[in-house]
């Protein structure tokens, strides 16, 4: 039980000790919380690195925080097998340079792709800026977990963090890390332009020890995370609250509008990136995104869409049925938390390429329970309500 005492809050340890002859690796002893700023979030990743004894697998979109990189180097110096993946476009980060200068190799993922698309019957090119790796997780010794909507950077803003011990989650996230670290990322395709990545998760439901909550884990692009958010919107029975930095999927906007017409409580809060003004110096992709945001507003014309003007990006959290339904009961309150904004579930918009979940490595976690929202879900509800109180009408 020494691992549990070192890594878990005292209350969680007491809970586990009260169980009869527990197998400590059989527990999903994970806590979810909302933290402000990179320092508070990165502390969980540093703690995983400091506790690692044999293996440390890390995937981060960027690695600018030198303290996180130094913790990885310290682990490497202790003889820990350290494997790090960072998005190609962030290869010049201070932490990446520190690791490579010290001789610790860093895999760079999602560096763009060019190929002939047999479906579209034409050549297609996606730049490294269009194909992204937004995983933010660390796995120590296959059991010690830190996952976040954003980590490794040095900026501000709120982040959702899941941390603790789970052999099941560690194993399944480890399979995902093996693929990306080995070069099978979102832009790796077969001869027939099919996705090379595999849906290798052994399970999707992880009951969280002592909470009554169930945690789901999905990786993109093999699990189509944007589509899962849309599918959940169709299933909603009471309310849909969307918090995201950017929303460029008219398909989701359409179902949100239909739910509003049917009397559901639908709210959308977007960040400062959601602009509908064309940039005279912008490229074709930025113009396409502006068109898509305008289409979102048109498709969701009945929906309450507001904006917060913040210099830091919003995390993506979509809440479903966190209010009682019309019959007075609860219909599986749940939250979908994504490591990226809500991009399109399609690959084209008005015959132009658009940012899509089909070409991005990302993580989607789902938290649900069968009754009134517990403390984990409540923290996400409070996150939304805090921004809801500050949001203003779109300009």
Phi, psi of 229 (to 5 degrees): -65, -40
393: tokens are 């009408």
Is 354 inside any structural domain?
yes
Same domain as 41, residue 116: yes
Domain range holding 138? 2-203
Domain boundary among 158, 174, 203: 203
Same domain as 188, residue 152: yes
Same domain as 42, residue 133: yes
Same domain as 127, residue 24: yes
Domain boundary among 170, 203, 236: 203
Domain boundary among 149, 175, 203: 203
361: tokens are 């490595």
Same domain as 389, residue 360: yes
Is 37 inside any structural domain?
yes
Considering only CA atoms, which of 147, 187, 107, 209 is closest in space to residue 360?
Answer: 187
- Encode the chain in three state secondary structure: CHHHHHHCCHHHHHHHHCCCCCCHHHCEEEEEEEEECHHHHHHHHHHHHHHCCCEEEEEECCCCCHHHHHHHHHHHHCCCEEEEEEEHHHCCCHHHHHHHHCCCCEEEECCCEEEEECCCCEEEEECCCCCCECCCEEEECCCEEEEECCCCCCCCCEEEEEEEEEHHHHHHHHHHHHHHHCCCCCCCECCCCCECCCCCCCCCEEECCCCCCEEEEEEECCCCHHHHHHHHHHHCCCEEEEEECCECCHHHHHHHHHHHHCCCEEEEEECCCCCCCCCCCCCHHHHHHHHHHHHHHHHCCCCEEEECCCCCCCCEEEEECCCCCCCCCCCCCEEEEECCCECECCCEECCEECCEHHHCEEEEEEEECCCCCCHHHHHHHHHHHHHHHHCEECC
How far is 252 from 226, CA to CA, in rounded Å?
9
Phi, psi of 117 (to 5 degrees): -90, 115
217: tokens are 């884990």
Same domain as 273, residue 187: no
Q: What pLDDT, on a 0 to 100 scale, did the predictor assign at position 327?
A: 81
Q: What pLDDT, on a 0 to 100 scale, did the predictor assign at position 121?
A: 80
Same domain as 238, residue 104: no
| Number of domains observed in the structure of the chain | 2
Is 154 inside any structural domain?
yes
Which residues are paired to 59 by β-bridges? Answer: 85, 137
Same domain as 199, residue 69: yes
Instruction: Please answer whether residues 24 and 7 qualify as being in contact, where contact means their C-beta atoms are separated by less than 8 angstroms.
Output: no
Radius of gyration from C-alpha coordinates of the chain:
21
Same domain as 167, residue 95: yes
Other CB atoms within a 10 A radius of the CB of residue 172 amount to: 20
Is 91 inside any structural domain?
yes
How far is 182 from 346, CA to CA, in rounded Å?
27
Which parts of the chain sit beneath pLDDT 70?
Answer: 1-26, 201-202
Q: What pLDDT, on a 0 to 100 scale, did the predictor assign at position 352?
A: 87
Same domain as 150, residue 298: no
pTM score of the predicted model: 0.91
Total length of the chain: 395
CATH number of the CATH domain containing 35: 3.30.870.10
Q: What pLDDT, on a 0 to 100 scale, did the predictor assign at position 6?
A: 40
Is 208 inside any structural domain?
no
Same domain as 249, residue 151: no
Is 210 inside any structural domain?
no
Same domain as 332, residue 227: yes
Is 213 inside any structural domain?
no
Is 352 inside any structural domain?
yes
How far is 392 from 395, CA to CA, in rounded Å?
9
């Amino acid at each position: 039980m020494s691992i549990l005492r070192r890594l878990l809050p005292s209350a969680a340890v007491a809970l586990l000790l009260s169980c009869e002859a527990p197998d400590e690796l059989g527990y999903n002893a994970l806590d979810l919380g909302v933290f402000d700023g990179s320092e508070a979030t990165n502390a969980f990743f540093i703690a995983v690195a400091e506790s690692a004894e044999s293996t440390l697998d890390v995937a981060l979109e960027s690695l600018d925080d030198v303290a996180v990189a130094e913790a990885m180097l310290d682990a490497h110096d202790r003889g820990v097998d350290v494997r790090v993946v960072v998005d190609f476009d962030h290869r010049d980060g201070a932490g990446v340079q520190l690791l490579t200068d010290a001789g610790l190799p860093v895999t760079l993922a999602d560096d763009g792709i060019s190929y002939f698309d047999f479906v579209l019957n034409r050549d297609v090119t996606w730049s490294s800026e269009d194909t992204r790796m937004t995983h933010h997780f660390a796995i120590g010794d296959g059991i010690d977990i830190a996952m976040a909507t954003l980590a490794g950077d040095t900026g501000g803003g709120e982040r959702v963090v899941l941390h603790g011990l789970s052999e099941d989650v560690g194993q399944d996230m480890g399979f995902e890390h093996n693929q990306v670290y080995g070069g099978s990322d979102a832009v790796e395709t077969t001869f027939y332009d099919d996705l090379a990545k595999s849906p290798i998760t052994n399970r999707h439901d992880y009951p969280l020890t002592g909470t009554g909550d169930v945690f789901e884990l999905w990786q993109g692009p093999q699990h189509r995370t944007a589509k899962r958010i849309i599918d959940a919107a169709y299933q909603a029975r009471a309310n849909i609250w969307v918090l995201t930095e950017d929303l460029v999927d008219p398909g989701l906007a359409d179902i949100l509008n239909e739910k509003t017409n049917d009397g559901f409580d639908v709210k959308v809060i977007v960040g400062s990136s959601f602009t509908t003004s064309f940039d005279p110096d912008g490229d074709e992709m930025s113009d396409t995104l502006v068109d898509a945001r305008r289409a979102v507003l048109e498709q969701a014309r009945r929906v309450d869409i507001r904006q917060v003007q913040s210099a830091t990006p919003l995390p993506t959290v979509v809440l479903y049925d966190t209010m009682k339904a019309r019959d007075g009961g609860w219909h599986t309150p749940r939250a979908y938390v994504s490591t990226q904004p809500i991009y399109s579930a399609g690959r084209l918009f008005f015959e132009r390429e658009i940012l899509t979940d089909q070409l991005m490595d990302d993580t989607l976690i789902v938290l649900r329970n069968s009754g009134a929202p517990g403390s984990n879900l409540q923290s996400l509800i409070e996150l939304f309500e805090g921004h809801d109180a500050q949001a203003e009408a779109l300009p």
